[in-house]
Structures are given as structure tokens and as C-alpha cells.
Structure 1
Amino acid sequence: MAVKYNQWKALLAMSKASLIGIVRSPSAVIFSLGFPLVFILVFGFIGDKGISVKIGVDAATDTTSYLYKQLASEKSLKLISGQPAAEMEDDLKKGHITAIIRITSQPAQGNTPVCNVKVRTSAASVDKISLFQTILTGIINKADDVYYPRSSVAKLEPVEVLPGRRYRTIDFILPGLLSFSLLSAAVFSTAFLFFSLRQTLVLKRFFATPIRRLYIVLAEALARLIFQVAGAVLIIAIGYFAFGFTLVHGWTTFFEMLILTAFGVIVFMGFGFVVSGIANSESTIPPIANVITLPQFLLAGTFVSVDAFPSWLQPICRIMPLTYLNDAFRKIAFEGQHLWNVGLELGVITLWGVIVYAVAVRVFRWE
């Protein structure tokens, strides 16, 4: 009596072999895990330290003056002293420093310190000079309030701070990098794999076996799901434990992000099938894949919010599936929403999945 061929057993065997191949592939590991982890480490260590303004200190400055000491205590300022005048002047012209300040003390009026302040800047530093002027004016006004107390036309009430979570840089960057790693890995790895299997006639040999075509695709999809979900676990763990990435509902949020990861991989693999179907040679895969991935990397809110782009460009950004995956990740991780609260994002991604798989079926070739 003939034993019935077990399709699921064959699927698992193919998935295991494919997963081993992915793990042994340096390019797959680097693009899926290496690059996102490097970016996360860079942005994580930068953190929320804010803008630092470099100010050159003229050699004639009285460093014992009250104003200089107040400037030196400002965390957002970096005072550079002891540098030759010509070198400092050159740095100012090149925009390496924002301004050069000279503070000269005048005869005191009683117990009140008096000084003259001269600030020089260049056209290369117009973006930061206004910030320095604001800091300098604030310090002078604060000193005036101390030494020349006077009545004011208005009373400023204390700023009311509502309770809430602090939105760190890592809370914005990590979801974007996680989404892009899913897109790039799914597109490139799927495209290269199936093109290679077709070119080496491996897919054709599969036809001589009882395994069905659907199970071949499912086996490869399962291997990539396992690899990408494992990578997401590592990325989220490093972000959470090393840099304080926000997981509002703890384990619930974590598992919802993993479900969203799996969903994103499945949809984005469709782009890989399309690329492998229309590519005529292995050398044409990267350019075609980059046409799909690069615009989304730049415009889908990976590093910069979509709202920061010009108004005419934002509708284009809002078409891209990666934009909605980024939004969904951020809403779940930081805002505390659940999968059933991000219906719009999931709906748009699903629509993209239907479209791209419909195209993939038309262009996909087994031989």
C-alpha cells in the first residue's frame, strides 16, 4: 500500500533548509540585522541631548566675569577658548563655530557687574545664531532681574506639565528602522532566492517531486518569517533594555509588534516575487529592488516625520505601505494602541498586499 506524501513534512524540511541558508548568508544577516542595529546604536547613544552650539571665545574676553560664568554653565553651549585668532576666524567662516564672543568688563556700579559684549558670526551659521542670541538675551535678562529688580507688565504663571510619557528619539527611530529592515530583507532575499532557484532549475526539479507549488512558496515564507521575527525580537530587546524604548503595555505590546512584523514580512515578500519575475538577470535585481525600497526608506517616515516634508510631497509619502507600517508600529509601541485600533494602517497595507500579489502571480515564472 502506497504511503501518502506528507506535504507539511516536506514544507517543514524545506523551511529548515532555507532558514539555515539565510543564517549562513552574510548579506542577509547584515542587511536584516546589522544595519538596523548600527543605526539604533548610533541614535540611541545620541539620545535626546539636543543641539549643541559651539561658540569661540575671543582672547580678550574676561573669563572671570559674571556673564562668562553663566554662559559656561549652559549645557547647550560649548565654549572654545585658547585657539589662535586666525584659526578661530577661519572656523567661523566655514561654519565650524556659530559665533565669536568677546566680553570685556567695565567699572562696576556698586555691587552690579557691568560688561560689554560683542558677538560676530558669519553667513555659514545663520541657522544657529538665533538660538545663541536667545540664550544670551535670556542670561542678560535674568541678571537684570537679580541686580535691577523691577515690576513687570505681566505675571507669568508656572508652566503646567500634564502627566505623560517622554517621547525619546529611540521611540521614533526604532520602529522606522524595524519596518525598513523588514521591507529590504523581504524584497531582496525573496527576489534573489527565487531568481536563483529558477536559473539553476531547482524549481523545475521540484516539479518531479510530489510537493505542490503552494507549499514551496509557503516553506520559503515560513523560513523568512522565523528569521525576521527573531531579528525583530533582538532589535526591540536592545532598544528596550539599552536605550529605554517604550513598550506601553509590556509583553502585550511586544507580542503585538511581533504579529505586525510577521504581517509586514508577508506583504513585502510580494514585492520580492514581482522583482524576481521581471528581472532578466541577477544584476538587474538590485536596481529594480532599489526602485521599490529606496524611496520608501527616504520618504516613509523612517528618520523624519512625514509631516516635515513639503505639503506637495506628503500625499506621495502617504501612498507608500512602509509609511503605514511605521505609523502602526509607533502607535502600538508608544501610544498604547492595539492591533484593532490601527485598522486604517492595516487596511492600507493589506490593500498593497492584494495588489502586489496579484501582479506577482502575473509576472512570476517557475522556469
Structure 2
Amino acid sequence: KGKLTGTVLLTNKAATDTTLASVRVQFFSTTASGPTIGPFLNLLDYIRLQGLAASLPQGDVSIDRPVIREVRKYLPIDFVLPGQLGFSILFSTLFGIAFTFYGLREQGVLKRFFATPVHRINILIGIGISRIFFQLLSVLVLLLFGHWVLDFTLQHGWISVVQIVSFTVLMLLLLMGVGLIFSSVAKTDATIPLLINLFALPQMLLSGTFFSVEVFPGWLQRICDVLPLKQFNDAVRKISFEGLGWLDCGKEFGVLLLWLVLVYALLSRLLRWE
């Protein structure tokens, strides 16, 4: 992404092969760090190292040619779109599921369902599947529009899309649980937006949605790391731009899974049908 200028590798070769230089100096970087490579090489002072090599017995220091690998430039859209994706599903899912379930309960629709052979869990599954279906459609539209129109990076094409969608399903399940909790504890429909904003606004500001959390002090960054939206945004950025997979996003998956367990454990105690 260009955050690091490059890597300097110093290798002691004398211990394994006395015919080679005792110290080997290598520099690796990418085109994403282009503007900073030159000043860094001056700071590294290759000229001084070469002078040092000349003053030492021959073969003591070996300086390799810098290796600059060409990579795709990290565009602003590569940061912005994952944040907008998380922002979109956060509010639409919370408001959608909370008001839907609250309305069904207050209008007596759920009571009429109970007069049929329909099991309660099937009602929740039906609401959840419909919400996931329409949310995934919006996610796909955002991803494909961003890729084809705004040059958003998808390193592995459709494989990256499938991995992002799978993470989105996990996030949607978590948010639906939160929405059901809010619809159950709210006494009136006017209370629901207050509860949602209380949960969502801190995440919108502290999860790297519009700007990087690196601007915050260290203690606040540690708080940001426990927020589910932060982990979702990070996972989408890793999959899309860095080309990582599920196994490389273990931390993000673990935090989201922990939140999922906690939310549904709380929901099992708070869910109100009447």
C-alpha cells in the first residue's frame, strides 16, 4: 500500500560459505512506495556502504542491486468502498430487522402465526433469509459497480467476491441478532432509533469507515479492535486489495464469531414474541 518504503535484509554469509561476502545487503520495495524510495536509499547511504566495502578486505561486504517489484497502486476507492459497504449493511440491517419484527409483534401478526403449525424458529429464519437475500444483492451491486466503474481492486476476481460475500453473511447474522434485541427491549417504536444509534454511531466513527483508525491514540485503537464493524472492514480490505483469503483473516473471523455467540446468547434471554 506504500505505507512502508521497503525492507533492508542483512545476511551473514561467512558462517556458511567462506567464499561469499561476510555481509550481504539487500533492499526490497514496490512501486507503491515510488516517491519515498529515492530519499530512503540516500538515507541508507549506499555510497557510504560502498566506501566501507572498499576499505575492508575484498568480499567482506556485498551490496545487491535494489529490487523494486511492480504492484497495483493503492487507490482511495480501495479504502473507501469497504467502509461504505460496512456502513450500508450496518444501518440498513439494524433498522430493517428491528422495525420489521417490532411491527409484526405490535400488530398481532406473530400471534396469528402461532395459531398455525409454523414453528417460532421458522418465523425468524424466514425474516432472516429475506433480509440476507436483499442485503447481499446490494453488496454485489456495490462491489461490481466499484470494480467496473471506479476501478476498485479485486485481486482474485470472483473468488474475492465470494469470500467478501461469505464474511458479509456472518456480519449480517450478527447485526440481525442485535436488531432483534433492540426490537425486544424497546417499549415504543420511537425508542428503536435511539438504541440503534447508540450501538452504530461509535462503530461508524471508530471502525475505519471513513478514515483510518491509525489517526487515533494507541489506547483508543485497542478499543477499536474489538468492534465488529472494524473487523469486517479490515477483512474486506485484506481480501479485496491484498488478495488474502479466509485463513489469513483469522483474527477478524474470530472477533466476529465471538460477537455472534455473545449476541445470540443475550437474544435467547431477551427475545419477546408478544
- The equivalent of 1:345 in structure 2 is 252
Normalised TM-score (structure 1):
0.56
- The equivalent of 2:97 in structure 1 is 190
What amino acid maps onto 1:322 in structure 2?
A: L
TM-superposed deviation, 1:211: 0.6
Give the distance between the partners of 1:253 and 1:242, measured in 2 at CA.
Answer: 17
Give the distance between the partners of 1:185 and 1:269, measured in 2 at CA.
Answer: 10
- The equivalent of 1:266 in structure 2 is 173
- The equivalent of 1:232 in structure 2 is 139
Is 1:354 equivalent to 2:222 in the alignment?
Answer: no
What amino acid maps onto 2:180 in structure 1?
A: F
- The equivalent of 2:222 in structure 1 is 315
Is 1:325 equivalent to 2:251 in the alignment?
Answer: no
Give the distance between the partners of 1:350 and 1:185, measured in 2 at CA.
Answer: 21
TM-superposed deviation, 1:162: 3.0
- The equivalent of 1:103 in structure 2 is none
Give the distance between the partners of 1:155 and 1:348, measured in 2 at CA.
Answer: 48
Give the distance between the partners of 2:187 and 2:202, measured in 1 at CA.
Answer: 23
Is 1:215 equivalent to 2:107 in the alignment?
Answer: no
- The equivalent of 1:282 in structure 2 is 189
Is 1:244 equivalent to 2:161 in the alignment?
Answer: no
**Residue of structure 2 aligned with 1:181, choices 80, 83, 88:** 88
What amino acid maps onto 1:313 in structure 2?
A: L
CA displacement 1:264-312 (0-9 Å, x = unmatched): 1111111101110110000010011001111100111111112221222
- Name the Cα RMSD after superposition: 1.9
Give the distance between the partners of 1:188 and 1:315, measured in 2 at CA.
Answer: 28
What amino acid maps onto 1:181 in structure 2?
A: S
Give the distance between the partners of 2:226 and 2:250, measured in 1 at CA.
Answer: 16
Residue correspondence of structure 1 range 59-208 to structure 2 within 5 A: 161-208=68-115
What amino acid maps onto 1:190 in structure 2?
A: I
- The equivalent of 1:30 in structure 2 is none
TM-superposed deviation, 1:159: 8.8
CA displacement 1:61-107 (0-9 Å, x = unmatched): xxxxxxxxxxxxxxxxxxxxxxxxxxxxxxxxxxxxxxxxxxxxxxx
CA displacement 1:179-238 (0-9 Å, x = unmatched): 121111221111111111111111111100101011100001100111011001110111
What amino acid maps onto 1:246 in structure 2?
A: T
Give the distance between the partners of 2:68 and 2:198, measured in 1 at CA.
Answer: 45
TM-superposed deviation, 1:161: 4.1
Query: Which sections of structure 1, spanning at least 5 residues, go unmatched?
Result: 1-153
What amino acid maps onto 2:71 in structure 1?
A: G
Give the distance between the partners of 1:268 and 1:330, measured in 2 at CA.
Answer: 20
Report SS of the residue matched to 1:344: helix
Give the distance between the partners of 1:220 and 1:327, measured in 2 at CA.
Answer: 28
Give the distance between the partners of 1:161 and 1:284, measured in 2 at CA.
Answer: 57
Report SS of the residue matched to 2:69: coil
TM-superposed deviation, 1:155: 7.2
Which structure has the larger Rg over C-alpha atoms? 1
- The equivalent of 1:17 in structure 2 is none
Give the distance between the partners of 1:160 and 1:347, measured in 2 at CA.
Answer: 36
Counting matched residue pairs gives: 214
TM-superposed deviation, 1:164: 1.7
Give the distance between the partners of 2:249 and 2:159, measured in 1 at CA.
Answer: 15
Give the distance between the partners of 2:265 and 2:174, measured in 1 at CA.
Answer: 12
Is 1:256 equivalent to 2:124 in the alignment?
Answer: no
Query: Which sections of structure 2, spanning at least 5 residues, go unmatched?
Result: 1-45, 49-64
Give the distance between the partners of 1:219 and 1:312, measured in 2 at CA.
Answer: 42
Give the distance between the partners of 2:121 and 2:201, measured in 1 at CA.
Answer: 30
- The equivalent of 1:60 in structure 2 is none
CA displacement 1:130-168 (0-9 Å, x = unmatched): xxxxxxxxxxxxxxxxxxxxxxxx979x99743222111
Residue correspondence of structure 1 range 9-88 to structure 2 within 5 A: none
